[in-house]
A and B are shown apart, each in its own frame.
Chain A
């Protein structure tokens, strides 16, 4: 029986492998997702906290820097040099301050009317008046801090002033122009990534410091109103927003409360959370790697499971082709291996049954042969006894008729030949001679047959035709015995056309599936007659020994032909139609 191949998706190996992979991968995916989620959350919180700490630290540093500048000014305002009219002493102090502390762009000494009397700005005219706000603060003995303004040089500046008090009486005022450019370096130190930005803005959003200097020089403003309001309102925190370039930014902000400024440390969220994505990728790769390893292990394991099953299937397939001697190899100690053991035991028993069956068949054949032989031999023996008695009577006569004696002698000789043929055929069936194969040209064998038998066929009104589709078709056969096969079928065909007809002998080379389910080439010799045909009920019996519908047929010719062909690894097929003729097709391995 031909078994169709199993599609890959239906194979046990595929199904087991998929189930194993799913069994491993699904928990892995769930675990990985949980891990990614947890780690992402932790990393995001860490980054948000870090940026916020940076912003707060930056605000504190800037606040401290400005506070220190104010302290320096306040301490120096207490110098006795400012009590009197020590011009050079006063100039020395303010110039030293400007030299030592670059944050002071310029320091001026103002009198109580707010006129500049000393200044570190070389070449600047003196005696110009300070603003009213400054005067009001100073006259109340208070420190003064101006709003931030942008200088002609496009730098952010602010003014701070400290009163010079002698016995709590205002005698002068130290006014310093603070160069806020000096805090730019503090802002620069707060970068948290290659694309990050740090900046300080005042209450209206205008930048005072920015890592991108152009933003300050071009007097740009930070336009994220929510952050400006929150930070200037004294709150710190994190917020994401989309900037004017469409980039989502993560901004950490912290107020510089005394100045009503705020610090922002911001970077694209893509950059900020890059570690999270890297970790996500790493976990994904780990999961993929684990899944791959699991798949490999599952493949090996599944193979281990499926291998005995395949062995079993292979063994069963072998046995189904008749190879009862085949033993399934035992792999492992599992149930399938045990099944293989049982299967081997079963085939051994089957083999014993088969042997017994064969013996029984042989006995049956022998019985049949014995009865046929006894019948077939008894008839000639009877004829011989009768003719021997007739010869004896003739010899007892005084006048012997030689013609009669000759007649009896011929009958005796014919019957002896008949017995001899019977014995020869019997021996041929019972003990067939060993094949002596050699490479033969079937075209030649058939031509020889046609040459020898055609004259007799013609006498019976039968035309013999040859229909060779191939030339010089060479096969490994025993030429004598194959000749006998062809001769038997030829004679059978001739006898099937008593009133004459046409016998066509065809020769071809075909490829067909063999008994072991493999495809191979066969030489095909077809004998097509136009005889009376074979009744359907006889078709299955015509190759049985001693089955014959002819009066003088021995029932051996076709049986012997099939036996010889099968010994060559071939077979004979018959097709017949009553009244139209029969076709005997001999297949011989080519």
Chain B
């Protein structure tokens, strides 16, 4: 069994990261000729394949973010071929100015090495072994374990970007999930408070919509979707899903109420949440099959529309346009194939608004429509993520606001 599991992971890892080899080749010819040596003067960053799509991996600098996949001669870094699960960038010294440093006697890192892990547990193990210099964890228990084990690491809890939300999105193109009653039943069947209490230790806000309370687009008019499994069953029964087969799955026209739920692989919280959702939905006779995917595969599935439901974390920018990115314009052309005439109409008139108050009102209206249509079940706004930094190897890694600086501004001890 162990061998099977290892083979399986190896297969997934090799498939998911084969792009890294291509990326490595995309660097400058001169850089490509250098041998891959994981020099300790580089910042070793641990990433989860379930959270980071390597194609969207970017190096953040003061001048902006540089997509590594688009590396070229003019990029401020060179990509050096690495192993199947790592990627090494070397900084071009001339590309970065001389930032003000609290430790001018220490030299900056020569580059950054990204190491990819298929599970959070593997990443935590590597951190405890001292092989990772920087990582961001979403699990408080993992962060606490590191803190209790290795005092060399500084744990910096920081709020994620505003309007970050965990949600379950439904594919309108799916024959079963297109049904509003089913989507509403699914939303009412998830015991979010239990998860908040037992797994998140109450360190998150229950989400009513895409925007957090601090956002100007937040509206309290959107009602909280309460956990009510009886209402969920009633909704399903009213939609024709009253019959239950031998396997205790609801059926309609001999078709079981079954679909797949994609989620981010290897992320402990997401797996726990997927399990919670599966249990909750199983209890009302819905057969859901959770399936973990890498961030890349998840992105592809969303883009191509080849999914039933997906549990993901999404960040909405503080603007109505951010709704377009996930929900589309309501004409069925978006990732979720969401189709809603009121939503489309509101989006259309929103484009003509210039006054801030009008835009705000229209955005609130869009949220009310989303709450009514339930193309997604909004779950939580997480409070914190934990930045793990190897303080024994690096200095001057936080800016004045206590946030991590770009890697090229760190200092090697």
Question: B279 contacts which of A86, A99, A124 (Cβ < 8 Å)?
Answer: A99
Contact A99 B125 (CB under 8 A): no
Task: Determine the distance from Cα of A88 to Cα of B292 in the docked complex, in whole angstroms.
Answer: 19
Contact A217 B125 (CB under 8 A): yes
Contact B276 A154 (CB under 8 A): no
Task: Determine the distance from Cα of A153 to Cα of B145 in the docked complex, in whole angstroms.
Answer: 15
Q: Does A123 contact B (CB under 8 A)?
A: yes
Within 8 A of A (CB), among B268-288: 271-272, 274-276, 278-279, 282-283, 285, 287
Q: Which stretch (B246-254, B326-334, B374-382) binds chain A?
A: B246-254
Q: Does A87 contact B (CB under 8 A)?
A: yes
Question: B129 contacts which of A122, A155, A218 (Cβ < 8 Å)?
Answer: A218
With A88-B287, A128-B1 already in contact, the answer to whether A155 and B125 are too (CB < 8 A) is yes
Contact B128 A88 (CB under 8 A): no
Contact A152 B5 (CB under 8 A): yes
Name the residue of chain B whose CB is nearest to the CB of A90: B247
Contact B271 A122 (CB under 8 A): yes
With A125-B8, A130-B1, A213-B128 already in contact, the answer to whether A92 and B282 are too (CB < 8 A) is yes
Question: B247 contacts which of A85, A124, A153, A188 (Cβ < 8 Å)?
Answer: A85
CB distance from B401 to the nearest CB of A (A): 32
Q: Does B51 contact A (CB under 8 A)?
A: no
Q: Does B2 contact A (CB under 8 A)?
A: yes
Contact B282 A91 (CB under 8 A): yes
Task: Determine the distance from Cα of A131 to Cα of B1 in the docked complex, in whole angstroms.
Answer: 7
Which residues from A are CB-within-8-Å of B6? 152
Question: A98 contacts which of B119, B275, B290 (Cβ < 8 Å)?
Answer: B275
Contact B129 A123 (CB under 8 A): no
Contact B278 A95 (CB under 8 A): yes
Q: Does A214 contact B (CB under 8 A)?
A: yes
Q: Does A332 contact B (CB under 8 A)?
A: no
Question: A99 contacts which of B128, B149, B275, B293 (Cβ < 8 Å)?
Answer: B275
Which residues from A are CB-within-8-Å of B274? 122
With A88-B249, A88-B287, A153-B125 already in contact, the answer to whether A213 and B275 are too (CB < 8 A) is no
Contact A95 B291 (CB under 8 A): no
Most chain B beta carbons < 10 A, residue from A85, A128, A188: A128
Which residues from A are CB-within-8-Å of B246? 85-86
Q: Does A120 contact B (CB under 8 A)?
A: yes
Contact A128 B247 (CB under 8 A): no
Contact A120 B275 (CB under 8 A): yes
Q: Does B396 contact A (CB under 8 A)?
A: no
How large, as a class, is the contact surface on chain A?
20 to 34
Q: Does A111 contact B (CB under 8 A)?
A: no
Main SS of chain B's interface residues? helix
Task: Determine the distance from Cα of A217 to Cα of B282 in the docked complex, in whole angstroms.
Answer: 37
Which residues from A are CB-within-8-Å of B129? 214, 217-218
Task: Determine the distance from Cα of A92 to Cα of B119 in the docked complex, in whole angstroms.
Answer: 24
How large, as a class, is the contact surface on chain B?
35 or more
CB distance from A502 to the nearest CB of B (A): 95
CB distance from A214 to the nearest CB of B (A): 6
With A86-B247, A155-B125 already in contact, the answer to whether A124 and B5 are too (CB < 8 A) is yes
Within 8 A of B (CB), among A88-136: 88-89, 91-92, 95-96, 98-99, 120, 122-125, 128, 130-131
Within 8 A of B (CB), among A201-226: 212-214, 217-218
Which residues from A are CB-within-8-Å of B92? none
Contact B119 A153 (CB under 8 A): yes
Q: Does A151 contact B (CB under 8 A)?
A: yes
Which residues from A are CB-within-8-Å of B403? none
Contact B248 A155 (CB under 8 A): no
Which residues from B are CB-within-8-Å of A153? 119, 121-122, 125
Which residues from A are CB-within-8-Å of B293? 123
Within 8 A of A (CB), among B290-314: 290-293
CB distance from B150 to the nearest CB of A (A): 8
Which residues from A are CB-within-8-Å of B279? 92, 95-96, 99
Name the residue of chain B whose CB is nearest to the CB of A122: B290
Contact B122 A154 (CB under 8 A): yes
Contact B9 A123 (CB under 8 A): no
Q: Does A426 contact B (CB under 8 A)?
A: no
Q: Does A149 contact B (CB under 8 A)?
A: yes
Q: Does A159 contact B (CB under 8 A)?
A: yes
Task: Determine the distance from Cα of A215 to Cα of B58 in the docked complex, in whole angstroms.
Answer: 35
Contact A149 B128 (CB under 8 A): no
Name the residue of chain B whose CB is nearest to the CB of A131: B1
CB distance from A580 to the nearest CB of B (A): 96
Within 8 A of A (CB), among B40-86: none
CB distance from B190 to the nearest CB of A (A): 14
Question: B125 contacts which of A122, A124, A154 (Cβ < 8 Å)?
Answer: A154
Name the residue of chain A whose CB is nearest to the CB of B287: A88
With A85-B247, A152-B122 already in contact, the answer to whether A124 and B275 are too (CB < 8 A) is no
CB distance from B163 to the nearest CB of A (A): 28
Question: A152 contacts which of B9, B248, B275, B276 (Cβ < 8 Å)?
Answer: B9
Contact B282 A124 (CB under 8 A): no
Q: Does B4 contact A (CB under 8 A)?
A: yes
Contact A149 B265 (CB under 8 A): no
Contact A128 B283 (CB under 8 A): no
Task: Determine the distance from Cα of A92 to Cα of B286 in the docked complex, in whole angstroms.
Answer: 11
Task: Determine the distance from Cα of A218 to Cα of B145 in the docked complex, in whole angstroms.
Answer: 17
Task: Determine the distance from Cα of A188 to Cα of B247 in the docked complex, in whole angstroms.
Answer: 44
Most chain B beta carbons < 10 A, residue from A86, A120, A122, A213: A122
Task: Determine the distance from Cα of A88 to Cα of B145 in the docked complex, in whole angstroms.
Answer: 35
Task: Determine the distance from Cα of A228 to Cα of B282 in the docked complex, in whole angstroms.
Answer: 48
Task: Determine the distance from Cα of A199 to Cα of B218 in the docked complex, in whole angstroms.
Answer: 51
Name the residue of chain A whose CB is nearest to the CB of B198: A99
Contact B265 A123 (CB under 8 A): yes
Contact B290 A88 (CB under 8 A): no
Name the residue of chain A whose CB is nearest to the CB of B10: A152
CB distance from A490 to the nearest CB of B (A): 97
Task: Determine the distance from Cα of A212 to Cα of B149 in the docked complex, in whole angstroms.
Answer: 7
Task: Determine the distance from Cα of A104 to Cα of B119 in the docked complex, in whole angstroms.
Answer: 17
Task: Determine the distance from Cα of A217 to Cα of B246 in the docked complex, in whole angstroms.
Answer: 45
Which residues from B are CB-within-8-Å of A85? 246-247
Task: Determine the distance from Cα of A465 to Cα of B146 in the docked complex, in whole angstroms.
Answer: 110
CB distance from A34 to the nearest CB of B (A): 44
Which residues from B are CB-within-8-Å of A213? 128, 145, 149
Which residues from A are CB-within-8-Å of B249? 88
Name the residue of chain A whose CB is nearest to the CB of B256: A88
Which residues from B are CB-within-8-Å of A98? 275
Question: A95 contacts which of B125, B263, B275, B285 (Cβ < 8 Å)?
Answer: B275
Contact A128 B4 (CB under 8 A): yes
With A99-B272, A122-B292 already in contact, the answer to whether A149 and B2 are too (CB < 8 A) is yes
Which residues from A are CB-within-8-Å of B265? 123
Within 8 A of A (CB), among B109-166: 119, 121-122, 125, 128-130, 145, 148-149
Contact B128 A217 (CB under 8 A): yes
CB distance from B142 to the nearest CB of A (A): 11
CB distance from A344 to the nearest CB of B (A): 82
Given contacts A88-B282, A88-B285, A92-B282, 16 further A-B contacts (CB under 8 A): A85-B246, A85-B247, A88-B247, A88-B249, A95-B278, A122-B271, A122-B274, A122-B291, A123-B265, A124-B5, A125-B8, A128-B1, A153-B119, A153-B121, A214-B128, A214-B149
Q: Which 6 A-B pairs have the closest CB atoms?
A: A153-B121, A122-B290, A154-B125, A153-B122, A123-B292, A213-B149
CB<8 Å pairs between A and B, sample of 6 = A91-B282, A92-B282, A125-B8, A152-B5, A153-B122, A213-B128
Q: What is the interface of chain A, defined by CB distance below 8 A to chain B? A: 85-89, 91-92, 95-96, 98-99, 120, 122-125, 128, 130-131, 149, 151-155, 159, 188, 212-214, 217-218
